[in-house]
Amino acid sequence: MSGIRLHDFNCGLKAYRSNVVKSIEVYGDMHRYIPVLAKWAGYKRIGEKVVQHQERKYGESKFGIERFIRGPLDLMSVIFISKFGKRPMHLFGPLGVLFFIIGLVILAWLSYQKLVILEYGIADRPIFYFGILALIIGTQLFLTGFLAELISRSAANRNEYLIQDQVGS
């Protein structure tokens, strides 16, 4: 069967070719996402086999409530790294610009009210502090994306590729 089914990731029985496991980075509890990581690494033949599950005869399960916390967090990490690992500015840049523009519009409106309409007590409004906060968060998000982009572009393994076959040597 070709394809990856999310509901089968929790099966304890898994088999992989050694070249697949050696070519992908697995850390923490990411072992349950090896099929997805292998697919993103370019491996096409990913399948599944039906196994007979049996009730536990001895001992107790070591899985607790933390599994329901770590699993989704690991999944979010896999998704983030796969989509934005090589181009973090594509996530942080638009968010930073959006927050910065929101803060700028709020503060521009409050400045207009203060300078043209001659309203006083602008700094007493909660929206004033929200505008300043939005400017700061926007700047920080943009700079985070910029720094992450610089770091990802200067990584030592940036131009390493997995070459399985060499043609015409």
pLDDT in tens, 56-76: 888 887 777 877 788 788 888
- pTM score, two decimals? 0.63
Name the residue type at position 155. Answer: A
Cβ atoms within 10 Å of 135's Cβ, excluding its own: 18
pLDDT, one tens digit per residue, over 26-48 is 777 777 778 878 887 778 888 77
| Mean of per-residue pLDDT scores for the chain | 82
Q: Where are the domains of the chain?
A: 1-52+63-84, 85-155
pLDDT, one tens digit per residue, over 84-137 is 877 889 999 999 999 999 999 999 999 999 989 888 888 889 999 999 999 999
The structure tokens listed for 88 are 């973090």
Give percent of the chain above pLDDT 90.
28
In this prediction, residue 143 has a pLDDT band, given cuts at 50, 70 and 90, of very high
Contact between residue 162 and residue 23 where contact means Cβ atoms under 8 Å apart:
yes
